[in-house]
């Protein structure tokens, strides 16, 4: 008997032009696990360190399309995905010769009376969806600035 899936309360569903290519990118390159799927239309429910998303092949009669899908998909949004091993993920992307959209950086964001930090980079999937992978750097007091860090107040 398989364990029940603990579904997140918000799970983006990304439509794909080439489902097999997207599934390989998310699974083989990034390390997502396929929790379940179906063949018609091609669909996969994926998980990566607790983050979940769905992939589905674009079908011409999909009832939730509000406009024609033109690449890059997902313009105006990025999906932040936290990882415990940013360097390992970067190594897998380099091995697969996937170009990064934005190189790794340390960024600190104001959160009330503290700064919260993360090391992050951006990469686009085969359809152009923008993925921001990050690793927690902890918290610090306001005003603490290190050379080469980006601060957002």
Within a domain: 36: yes
Tell me what percent of the chain is helix, strand and coil, each rounded to the nearest 5. 15, 40, 45
- Spatial distance between the Cα atoms of 23 and 137, rounded to a whole number of angstroms: 30
Within a domain: 67: no
E strands, the chain, are: 13-16, 33-38, 43-48, 51-57, 78-82, 102-111, 114-124, 130-141, 150-152
pTM of the predicted protein model: 0.90
| pLDDT tens for the 153 residues of the chain, in order | 467 899 999 999 999 999 999 999 999 999 999 999 999 889 999 999 999 999 999 987 766 788 888 999 999 999 999 999 999 999 999 999 999 999 999 999 989 889 999 999 999 999 999 999 999 999 998 877 666 667 675
The total number of residues written for the chain in this structure: 153
Query: CA end-to-end span of the chain, whole Å?
Result: 49
Domain count for the chain, please give it.
1
139 - beta bridge partners? 116
Within a domain: 84: yes
Within a domain: 8: no
Specify the CATH number for the domain of residue 138. 3.10.180.10
Within a domain: 138: yes
Query: What is the extent of the structural domain holding 38?
Result: 13-59+74-152
Within a domain: 2: no
Within a domain: 23: yes
117 DSSP 8-state letter = E
- Answer for the pair 107, 118: CB distance below 8 angstroms, yes or no: yes
Within a domain: 66: no
């Amino acid at each position: 008997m398989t364990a029940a899936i603990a579904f997140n309360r918000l799970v983006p569903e990304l439509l794909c032009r080439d489902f097999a290519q997207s599934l390989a990118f998310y699974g083989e390159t990034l390390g997502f696990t396929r929790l379940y799927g179906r063949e018609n239309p091609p669909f996969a429910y994926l998980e990566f360190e607790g983050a979940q998303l769905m992939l589905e092949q674009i079908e011409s009669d999909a009832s939730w399309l509000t406009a024609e899908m033109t690449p890059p998909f997902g313009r105006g949004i990025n999906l932040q995905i936290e990882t415990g091993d940013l360097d390992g993920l970067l190594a897998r992307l380099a091995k697969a010769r996937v170009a990064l959209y934005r190189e790794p950086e340390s960024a600190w964001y104001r959160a009330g009376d503290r700064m919260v930090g993360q090391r992050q980079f951006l990469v686009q999937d085969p359809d152009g969806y923008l993925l921001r992978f990050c690793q927690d750097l902890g918290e610090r007091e306001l005003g603490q600035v290190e050379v080469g860090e980006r601060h957002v107040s």
